[in-house]
Amino acid sequence: MKRIKNNLEKLVTRSKKRLIHIKEDHVIKEYFKNNILVFTFIITCVLNSTILRFFCMNTLENYLSVKAILADLTIVIIISAFGYLIKPKNRFTYYIIFEIFLTLICVINSVYYTFYTSFASVSMLSLTQYIGDVGDAVVENVLQLKDLIYILGPLILIFVHIKLKKKNYYKRIEVKSERKKRTFQMLGLGGALAIIFIVTLTSLDVTRFVKQWNKEYIVMRFGIYIYQANDVITSLQPKINSMFGYDQANKEFQEYFTGKDEVKTNEYTNIFEGKNVIVIHGESMQTNAMNLKFNDQEVTPTLNKLAKEGMFFSNFYSQVSVGTSSDTELTYNTSLMPTKSGTAFVSYSDRKYVATPSLLKEKGYYTFSMHANNADFWNRRAMHKNLGYDKFYSKSDYKITPDDVIGLGLNDKAFFAQSTQKIEKIAKKYENWYGLLIMLTNHTPFSETEKYGEFDVDIKETITNEDGTTEEKIHPYMEGTKLGNYFKSIHYADSALGEFITNLDEKGLLDNTVLIIYGDHDGRLPKSDYNKLYNYDKETDSLLSKEDPNYKEYDSYQYELGRKVPFIIWTKDMAGTKLNQEVTNVMGMYDAMPTLGNMFGYYNKYQLGNDIFNIKEDNIVVFPNGNWVTNKVYYNSQKGEYLSLSDEAISEDEIKNNSTYANKLLDISNNIIIFDLLKQKEEKIQE
């Protein structure tokens, strides 16, 4: 009897537990069932942000970053919490609006990262006026199928909404107190996740978040949604700072330049004083193209000749941000860096700049610029005047026929031919003159290959058969790739440059003239194409395997270091003189003004770069994203990693000191422009 009683008690206990479990399961299922719209919103939004990191920074560590996922989840949960305050029948409208908004953030950043290898900034909205001018390049080079996958998020939410509507999900009654309770519960969950997230942050994370220089790092640590919110605040910061941050910025500015106004001389001081100057702004010209041949034909024979006969800076880097070509013009002319948000040419064209054209005007030069594009593209009409150009010859000053158009406008050969006539008139009128000519044809997307002339980027070889006959065999190699098309395009641009120099010489315009050539930035070409360039196996028409002894590793570091651009100083009588040399010390665009200023006899005491012949092997090139490079090491600030470029050991102190210097330089440059410190300085001197 006792045994039966015990068994009954056990049975009752089990039954109670089972009923509790069933009840708990029922409660959980009901909870998810009643909140399915909210959970769909949360899951799809977090999934989209994860997919974005996968496409942009496709390593497991990046796209499955716990910090980033936690940050995105926190933001989405907090947004979803306020949806409970809305009645069920109107709740879908709230969530679909935010779903579309967050999806657009992912789509825009996905497209933007493809081209700029960075994340988008709202400060760039002012530049949307230029999209029409480069529309084909955007569609062909940037917009890809992957950028549409994010649209699945809103579509899934709409699908779930339709299903719920059929089940009368929105007709259920929720009292106001219940809606408030769910709101606070969800806010509590979001708050708890936020605390956990904040606890995981390091001081380095916080510093980079505040500075917003390293956008990739911020997205890796803070997620795309917090990054974008922070970007809005950062974009408004110039307006806020101009009201509240001037004193601190001015103090740091004064301290930075104290004792730096000493003019240093060297063996090249004033060597070109009184010479006329023609500066060639080489659109998308990269140094690595100069080292290549296809079927014994050089890709850039003109650049190669000029480099051999002149002064060639072979370790020279562009320092552009989102302003691309305009950033190069700013840095080349002023030795300042691109601004932290927006672009100087568009957002800060009214500031005071100490620029090469204005300094040469003080020495009696007539200064001009030439570019056969819209004068207002990159706001050049206003900015060129501010920099000190007496005259800007733009699209309206050139005769352009449909046959003369390649890509964005007048082809380089026609541009140079018409520009030569203009320069000839200027030379007759003025004793000394300085001119900038901005090339255009070698602009992405490098697709009009039929207009570039004959230049094959395949491999041709003559095969001797067993019977003694020969035949030509062709291996596709780089044909059909974007990089291959780029080589065709730059070969055309190089040819145009060669014709221009010949025409100048025939008209006697090179007799007292220094020719300066720089590449404005790299071609923004796929890393995979470079992998094919260096690892093509003609026998199999495929890539070498990584195990092959001839395989060349081309990782993200090699890609970054391969973005060097040419910088050449040339005169027709330079060959064989002490100026005829290759300078291998690392050098950036902000070093051009100090180096050339010493040679031509002008000086900018607020320059951030260095005369390379004074600093030599101790130079450091800082990039707008906080990365930097020296002769010994390349440092990636986003990853906190470095690549040694020499056999020397790299100490932690060296990395730390150079990184501190880089951040300081970027802050000083940014403050000079935002607070118009040069104008303030000038006004105080006049007082």
Residue 244 pLDDT > 80: no
The pLDDT of residue 576 = 94
| Radius of gyration from C-alpha coordinates of the chain | 31
Residue 638 pLDDT > 90: no
The pLDDT of residue 61 = 63
- Phi, psi angles (nearest 5°) of residue 88: -50, -40
CA-to-CA separations, 318 to 243, 440, 442, 565, in angstroms, rounded: 33, 17, 16, 6
CA 269, CA 175: separation in Å to the nearest integer? 83
Report which residue type is found at 97.
I
Residue 133 pLDDT > 60: no
The pLDDT of residue 142 = 53
* CB neighbourhood size of 277 (10 A): 21
303 Cβ contact partners less than 8 Å away, ≥ 6 residues apart = 285, 290, 494, 497, 517, 566, 568
Nearest by Cα to 174 from 79, 83, 84, 92: 84
CA 378, CA 684: separation in Å to the nearest integer? 31
Of 120-134, 327-341, 376-390, least confident by mean pLDDT is 120-134
Residue 34 pLDDT > 80: no
Of 202-206, 406-410, 546-550, 554-558, least confident by mean pLDDT is 202-206
The pLDDT of residue 654 = 95
| Mode of pairing for the β-strands spanning 581-583 and 311-313 | parallel
Of 175-184, 428-437, 632-641, least confident by mean pLDDT is 175-184
Residue 201 pLDDT > 60: yes
Nearest by Cα to 228 from 111, 96, 76, 105: 105
Provide the pLDDT confidence category of residue 432 given band limits of 50, 70 and 90.
very high
Q: What is the mean pLDDT of residues 284-307?
A: 97
Give percent of the chain above pLDDT 90: 67
Provide the pLDDT confidence category of residue 29 given band limits of 50, 70 and 90.
low
The pLDDT of residue 400 = 96
Q: What is the mean pLDDT of residues 351-372?
A: 97
Residue 143 pLDDT > 80: no
Provide the pLDDT confidence category of residue 129 given band limits of 50, 70 and 90.
low
Residue 107 pLDDT > 50: yes
Provide the pLDDT confidence category of residue 64 given band limits of 50, 70 and 90.
confident
Q: What is the mean pLDDT of residues 171-189?
A: 84
| Long-range contacts of residues 419-425, Cβ cutoff 8 Å, at least 24 apart | 419/370, 419/393, 419/500, 420/500, 420/503, 420/504, 420/507, 420/509, 422/370, 422/393, 422/397, 423/278, 423/504, 423/509, 424/507, 424/509
The pLDDT of residue 20 = 46
Residues 323-359: tens digit of each pLDDT: 899 999 999 999 999 998 778 988 889 999 999 999 9
Give percent of the chain above pLDDT 70: 88
Q: Rounded to the nearest 10 degrees, what angle do helices 215-244 and 652-674 cross at?
A: 40
Q: What is the mean pLDDT of residues 277-296?
A: 97
Residues 407-427: tens digit of each pLDDT: 989 999 999 999 999 999 999
Provide the pLDDT confidence category of residue 7 given band limits of 50, 70 and 90.
low
Nearest by Cα to 141 from 410, 417, 433, 446: 446
CA 199, CA 29: separation in Å to the nearest integer? 32
Residue 687 pLDDT > 60: no
CA 15, CA 7: separation in Å to the nearest integer? 12
Residue 31 pLDDT > 70: no
Average pLDDT across the chain, whole number: 89
> What kind and span of H or E run contains 419?
helix 412-429
Of 55-69, 370-384, 512-526, 570-584, least confident by mean pLDDT is 55-69
Residue 127 pLDDT > 90: no
Q: Are 159 and 96 in contact (CB under 8 A)?
A: no
Q: What is the mean pLDDT of residues 428-452?
A: 95
N- to C-terminal Cα separation, the chain: 111
CA 182, CA 275: separation in Å to the nearest integer? 77
Q: Are 541 and 476 in contact (CB under 8 A)?
A: yes
DSSP code, position 450: G
Residues 210-232: tens digit of each pLDDT: 766 567 788 888 999 999 998 88
45 Cβ contact partners less than 8 Å away, ≥ 6 residues apart = 72, 76, 98, 99, 102, 103, 153
Q: Determine if the peptide bond prior to 301 is cis (ω within 30°).
A: no
The pLDDT of residue 19 = 42
Residue 28 pLDDT > 70: no
CA 274, CA 326: separation in Å to the nearest integer? 28
Q: Are 570 and 515 in contact (CB under 8 A)?
A: yes
CA 638, CA 188: separation in Å to the nearest integer? 32
Q: Are 366 and 389 in contact (CB under 8 A)?
A: no
* Fold (CATH) for 276-446+482-686: Alkaline Phosphatase, subunit A (3.40.720)
CA 66, CA 59: separation in Å to the nearest integer? 13
Residue 455 pLDDT > 50: yes
The pLDDT of residue 24 = 47
Residue 22 pLDDT > 60: no
Q: Are 454 and 423 in contact (CB under 8 A)?
A: no
Provide the pLDDT confidence category of residue 9 given band limits of 50, 70 and 90.
low
The pLDDT of residue 631 = 97
DSSP code, position 328: H
Residue 472 pLDDT > 60: yes
Q: What is the mean pLDDT of residues 550-561?
A: 93
Length of the chain: 687
Q: Are 538 and 459 in contact (CB under 8 A)?
A: yes
The pLDDT of residue 10 = 58
Domain ranges of the chain: 21-244, 276-446+482-686
Name the burial class of residue 250, with classes exposed (0-12), middle (13-18) and buried (19+) by CB atoms within 10 angstroms of its CB.
middle
The pLDDT of residue 681 = 74
Tokens coding 354: 């100490």
Of 19-33, 413-427, 457-471, 616-630, least confident by mean pLDDT is 19-33
> Looking at the DSSP assignment, which residues form a beta bridge with residue 128?
none
